[in-house]
């Protein structure tokens, strides 16, 4: 199976902005975060196909996973 992964803001540092990944059936969004060496605290928002997702959600072929860091403002 293949998925697209998009990283935003500080998560792009030393990583690709967008990439295709081959995954095994049953892979979760959390496993993608781990595979990319992103700390749990750094992956504040995970979206699958444009919708907010639980990190334990199992991915499907051709899903798009977007990962956002915590957002600060002032």
DSSP E strand stretches across the chain? 2-7, 18-22, 45-48, 51-52, 64-68
For 42-61, how does the pLDDT look when each residue is reduced to its tens digit (9 = 90+)? Answer: 999 999 999 999 999 999 99
Give the model's pLDDT for residue 73: 60
Structure tokens at 53: 């997702």
The answer, yes or no, to whether residue 36 has pLDDT greater than 80, is yes
Name the residue among 50, 47, 49, 19 with its Cα closest to residue 35.
Answer: 19
Domains and CATH numbers, the chain: 2-68 (3.10.20.30)
- Give the number of other Cβ atoms within 10 Å of residue 32's Cβ: 22
Rounded to 5 degrees, φ, ψ at 12 are -80, -15
pTM score, whole prediction: 0.92
Question: How much of the chain, in percent, has pLDDT values that exceed 70?
Answer: 96
Give the model's pLDDT for residue 71: 81
């Amino acid at each position: 199976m293949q998925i697209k992964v998009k990283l935003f803001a500080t998560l792009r540092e030393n990583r690709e902005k967008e990439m295709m990944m081959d995954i095994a059936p049953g892979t979760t969004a959390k496993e993608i975060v781990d595979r990319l060496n992103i700390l749990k605290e750094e992956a504040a928002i995970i979206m699958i196909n444009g919708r907010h997702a639980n990190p334990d959600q199992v991915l499907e072929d051709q899903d798009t996973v977007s990962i956002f860091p915590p957002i600060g403002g002032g």
